[in-house]
Amino acid sequence: MFRKILFPTDFSKFAIDVFKNIPKLKNMGVGEIILMHVIDIAKILGIGNDFDFCSWIKCEERKKLGNLSRLAELLQKHGFNAKYTLSVGDPATEIVNIATKENTSVILIGCRGKSITKDILIGSVCEGVIRKSKTSVLVVKNPKKLSNLFSKIVYAHDLSRYSNEIFECVKRVALQNESEVIILHVLENNMYQSAVKSKINYIKNQLENLGIDADVIIAYGVPHREIPKISEEQKASVIVVGSRGLDDSLPIGTVTDSVIRYSKIPVLMYKFLI
């Protein structure tokens, strides 16, 4: 699943911290990494007419290409096939376009959490990528969490047909990394409890038949609050969610959107090709 990763960077301290932890993904089958930077022209909008836009762009391109080249060399020393690309425009749009053009397996994006009434939120670029991407997205708020990323997976299952499609992704990753898997379903009331247990336990049995250590948690409450909370209580290493849920009229599930916002651990948003 992780054969080709796109890693967009703004060269901030946080982005470099994420970059330094990328070699920890080597044992997950990562073959190629594409480094990317977008020169955001919105930063200079409104500057006076005497501003030399062309000279500024050329200067930025020269500096950023040098930075990308140095980072690519470091990854190559770790045995990765690494290349880089530079774009000018809206960061989220450019990132999604390159991911599609390069047919990447996943976009690895670091999002600095900002605490507002204890809620961990995400930046506008990260949010834009999540909403527009046709590729799966791995959102990381703590760079150190890339270590043993798939040691303990929370597979958030809402019983939609999309959650069933994630099964193949979870199965492959768990087998490759000898992961423990927790299948988590959150009920907003106690209706259909027995039917839910039957369906979730069926998935558990499928995983166990493959030799995967699996467990089931059925909780009650608001899904987008309970999923991050329970994942943290279980000391999970990553949450795997789908980009769509029961309401497939939405481009991204409202639960998925909120889980990404509030989770302190990495979230892999699995994108469906439909």
Per-residue model confidence (pLDDT) at position 191 = 67
Phi-psi region of 167 (alpha: psi -120 to 50; beta: other; left: phi over 0): alpha
Per-residue model confidence (pLDDT) at position 95 = 96
Could you identify the residue written with the tokens 């190559």?
A: 76
User: Residue type at 220?
Assistant: Y
| Domains and their CATH numbers in the chain | 4-143 (3.40.50.620), 148-270 (3.40.50.620)
The neighbouring-strand residues paired with 152 are 180
Mean pLDDT to the nearest integer, 179-191: 88
What are the backbone angles phi and psi of residue 122, rounded to the nearest 5°?
-130, 160
- Band of residue 251 on the pLDDT scale cut at 50, 70, 90: very low
Q: What is the pLDDT of residues 93-114, one digit of tens each?
A: 999 999 999 999 999 999 875 5
Query: How many residues belong to the chain?
Result: 274
CB 266 within 8 A of CB 138: yes
Mean pLDDT to the nearest integer, 120-131: 77
Mean pLDDT to the nearest integer, 26-35: 88
Copy the structure tokens of residue 84.
Answer: 């880089």
E strand intervals along the chain: 4-8, 32-40, 81-89, 106-110, 115-116, 119-120, 136-140, 152-156, 180-187, 213-220, 238-242, 267-270
User: Residue type at 223?
Assistant: P
Q: What is the pLDDT of residues 212-222, one digit of tens each?
A: 999 999 999 99
Instruction: Give CA 271 to chain center in angstroms.
Output: 10
Copy the structure tokens of residue 190.
Answer: 């106690």
Mean pLDDT to the nearest integer, 110-130: 66
pTM assigned to the model: 0.89
- DSSP codes, 226-239: HHHHHHHHTT-SEE
Copy the structure tokens of residue 92.
Answer: 């989220």
Three-class SS state of 103 = coil
Does pLDDT of 246 surpass 60? no
Query: What Å distances lie between residue 246 and 39, 63, 109, 240, CA to CA?
Result: 37, 46, 26, 16
Rounded Cα distance, 170 and 153, in Å: 8
Spell 197-223 as b/e; 16+ CB within 10 A means b.
eebbeebbeebeeeebebebbeeeeeb
Rounded Cα distance, 199 and 166, in Å: 15
